[in-house]
Amino acid sequence: MNPSNANLFAALRDAFPPDLDAVAIETDTDTGLLYSWVDLERSTAMLANLLGSLGLPDGARIAVQVEKSVEALLLYLATLRAGYVFLPLNTAYKSAEMAYFIGNAEPAVLVCTAQDFGWLSKLAFTAGTQYVFTLNEDRTGSLLERAAVQPDQHTVALRLADELAAIIYTSGTTGRSKGAMLTHGNLLSNAQVLKSCWGWRSPDEGGDVLLHALPIFHVHGLFVAIHGALLSGSKMIWLNKFDAKVVIQRLPEATVFMGVPTLYSRLLAEPGLTRQVAAHMRLFISGSAPLLIETFKTWQERTGHTILERYGMSETAMLTSNPYRASSGERRGGTVGFPLPGVSLRVQDDGGHPVAVGDIGNIEVKGANVFKGYWRMPEKTAEEFTADAYFRTGDVGKVDAQGYVTIVGRSKDLIISGGYNVYPAEVEGYINELPGVAESAVIGVAHADFGEVAVALVVAQPGAVLEPGQIIASLKATLANFKVPKQCLVVQELPRNSMGKVQKNVLRAQFGKL
Ligand code: MCA
Ligand code: AMP
């Protein structure tokens, strides 16, 4: 490796194990495909050569909305390798959402499924995208056809640590998504810290096997899980979709599993989850949403393992983690552990002063992992940083005398449903556009499966008659399904404070038990 090359791919490739013919990725039992480390090396070279042959400008964005597959992962790695900027998009996004992302990010290349090619290519070409390729779950499509004729050797593009590796869209409190710009340095530093904190074992230390069941269009499944495995030369068992029964079936071959709390509660609902199937496991990690203490305890009783909960954001990758090694402390349920090495975390009051130990306030962070800013939103970026360069997370929490961090709420109006973020302002914007709607408020209510789900309270215009089922159906036609409120209630009015602001706390108290 060129020591001055800060390209994340160079570091990941450097960690490939000495036996390059060993299995790097094994897919689920249905397809049963095996990919060796040589396959990873050659296929990322071919895809990187394809991207390189297109004459794209520096910093070009490669937008990707495809079903999860190993080839989609290879495309991510190839984008890094070629030095371009990876822009993954949730497969649930519909046309209005995609039009916004494509218009805002102006990707030079879009990769989508053959099924979506018609409408998406029209949208992308209109927005100035030069190339649209297809990639399907079954490894067909123009992307791989074009890559197949490329050379299988490629020199990793030189990148500086502060050059962009990826843009991850994270919805904004005003309703519009913001692209968090993450650099090669952000991602590599975080991956290296996690490798050491979570004790990832390289093959000569006995090796780890990651059971990968999360989507790969978010930080959790794409960066935290994949970088951990690759940076330690560990094998991955790759599931294109989460299925509790399949996960349990594959657990005896794995050592590491990562999930959002919904995955853990769905696994607990399976009688097949026993101490015996989990006996080979080294580590279960949870994050992206609060893990209920009941889930934490029941998991301990059923499997004998203590889930390690950690906390992060799209803008920062991982920030805190419960200890892996008993010598560093216990894994404490209901907390997200200690700030990771290199992360400075503080809790401030609304006036910007530190609160006393154990008191609640706004969580602010600084570190090599913290993003470069929001894509083409310098004012928004400036707003989210303090004068002394701490990033305002929008999470509210406390740090106890031993240093454990607990998240107690959010100052940002955000619902986290099954690990996906739903921004009420965005959903309200769509509801308010519907005929006969005067105004609306979307709140989060507790839900046994998704932790929290969106519920809409809608006020009709004078004389209008609203049909809740119709509102939900209209939203499903325009919005990603996970954002669509699971229930909609028509109300006479919304409670407001003296400033005229809707009092969501009053609504949550009134409707929170739905
Ligand atoms: C699916 N639906 C949902 C969700 N997922 N509704 C609300 N919240 C969701 N998360 C909708 C479906 O569209 C469907 O609606 C209905 O709910 C039932 O879907 P189901 O078949 O049960 O869902 P599924 O396909 O099994 O998916 C559930 C899931 C998935 C596996 C839990 O949501 C998931 O993979 N979540 C993980 C998200 C994640 O990776 N987050 C990390 C973000 P309809 O019938 O109308 O179609 S990264 C992050 O947060 C930070 C950085 C961090 O700290 O990690
Ligand atoms: P995202 O925008 O998808 O990156 O979501 C980041 C947000 O998820 C954070 O700001 C937190 O509000 C939340 N989050 C992530 N991990 C945890 C956790 N372990 N406990 C509670 N909230 C979490």
- Any idea which ligand is nearest the CA of 317? 1
Best residue for ligand 1 mutational test, from 212, 223, 246, 262 (most atoms within 8 Å of Cβ): 262
The contacts of residue 470 (CB under 8 Å, 6+ apart) are none
Q: Give yes or no for residue 212 CB within 6 A of ligand 1.
A: no
**CA 318–ligand 2 middle distance (angstroms):** 10
Q: Cβ distance 166 to 371 under 8 Å?
A: no
Q: What letters, b where the CB count within 10 A reaches 16 and e where it falls short, cover 255-265?
A: bbbbbbbbbbb
Q: What's the CA-to-centroid distance between 505 and ligand 2, angstroms? A: 20
- 366 and 391 in contact (C-beta within 8 Å)? yes
Is residue 212 within 8 A of residue 237, CB to CB? The reply is: yes
| Closest approach atom of ligand 2 to CA 171 | 2
Beta carbons within 8 Å of 384's beta carbon, 6+ residues apart = 315, 374, 391, 392
Ligand 1 mean position, distance from CA 505 (Å): 25
Pocket lining: 223 vs ligand 1, CB cutoff 6 Å: no
Residue 15 confidence (pLDDT):
97
Is 327 close to ligand 1, i.e. is its CB under 6 Å away?
no
For residue 259 and ligand 1, the question of a CB distance below 6 A is answered with no
CA pair distance 290, 334, nearest whole angstrom: 8
Q: Report the 10 Å Cβ neighbour count for 55.
A: 8
Q: Is 392 helix (H, G, I), strand (E, B) or coil?
A: strand
Cβ neighbors of 284 (< 8 A, separation 6 or more) are 257, 258, 259, 264, 278, 299, 303, 305, 307, 308
> Residues 343, 319: contact at Cβ < 8 Å?
yes
CA of 410 to the centre of ligand 2 (A): 9
Q: Name the H helices within 223-338.
A: 226-231, 244-250, 261-268, 293-303
What's the per-residue H, E or C state across 474-486? HHHHHCCHHHCCC
Distance 42 CA to ligand 2 centre (A): 36
276 CA from centroid of ligand 2 (Å): 31
How many CA atoms does the CB half-sphere of 485 hold within 13 Å?
29
CA of 419 to the centre of ligand 1 (A): 7
Looking at residue 124, its pLDDT comes to 98
* Burial of residue 298, with CB atoms counted within 10 A of its CB: 0-12 exposed, 13-18 middle, 19 or more buried: middle
> Would you state the pLDDT for residue 97?
95
* Other CB atoms within 10 Å distance of the CB of residue 366: 18
Query: pLDDT tens-digit profile of 187-241?
Result: 999 999 999 999 999 999 999 999 999 999 999 999 999 999 999 999 999 999 9
Rounded Cα gap, residues 171 and 90, in angstroms: 12
pLDDT at site 1: 55
Best residue among 311, 318, 413 to mutate for probing ligand 2's pocket (most ligand atoms within 8 Å of CB) is 311
Mutate to test the pocket of ligand 2, among 293, 369, 395, 398 (most ligand atoms within 8 A of CB): 395
pLDDT in tens, 161-174: 999 999 999 976 66
Ligand 1 pocket check for 220: Cβ under 6 Å: yes
- Rounded Cα distance between 419 and 508, Å, is 20
The three-state secondary structure class of 139 is coil
According to the model, what pLDDT value does residue 172 have? 67
Q: Quick: pLDDT tens for 377-429.
A: 999 999 999 999 999 999 999 999 999 999 999 988 899 999 999 999 999 99
Note whether 65 and 98 are within 8 A (CB): yes
Ligand 2 shell residues, CB under 6 Å: 170, 219, 287-290, 309, 311-314, 336, 393-395, 407, 410, 416, 421
Per-residue pLDDT of the chain (514 residues; tens, 9 = 90+): 567 899 999 999 999 999 999 999 999 867 789 999 999 999 999 999 999 999 999 999 999 999 999 999 999 999 999 999 999 999 999 999 999 999 999 999 999 999 999 999 999 999 999 999 999 999 999 999 999 999 999 999 999 999 999 999 997 666 689 999 999 999 999 999 999 999 999 999 999 999 999 999 999 999 999 999 999 999 999 999 999 999 999 999 999 999 999 999 999 999 999 999 999 999 999 999 999 999 999 999 999 999 999 999 999 999 999 999 999 999 999 999 999 999 999 999 999 999 999 999 999 999 999 999 999 999 999 999 999 999 999 999 999 999 999 999 998 889 999 999 999 999 999 999 999 999 999 999 999 999 999 999 999 999 999 999 999 999 999 999 999 999 999 999 999 999 889 999 999 999 988 7
State the greatest distance between any 2 C-alpha atoms of the chain, in Å, as a whole number: 73
Instruction: Say if residues 324 and 308 touch (Cβ distance below 8 Å).
Output: yes
The rounded Å distance from CA 500 to ligand 1 centre is 34
Q: Which atom of ligand 2 is nearest to the CA of 414?
A: 12
Q: What per-residue confidence (pLDDT) applies to 30?
A: 72
Q: How far is the CA of 124 from the centre of ligand 2 (A)?
A: 31
- Among residues 226, 217, 214, 182, which one has the least CA distance to residue 97? 217
Question: Which of 187, 318, 391, 416 gets mutated to test ligand 2 (max ligand atoms within 8 A of its CB)?
Answer: 416
Q: Best substitution site from 481, 484, 488 to test ligand 1's pocket, by max atoms within 8 Å of Cβ?
A: 481
Long-range contacts of 113-117 (CB under 8 A, 24+ apart): 113/65, 113/66, 113/67, 113/137, 113/141, 114/140, 114/141, 116/65
Find out whether 392 and 385 touch, Cβ atoms under 8 Å.
yes
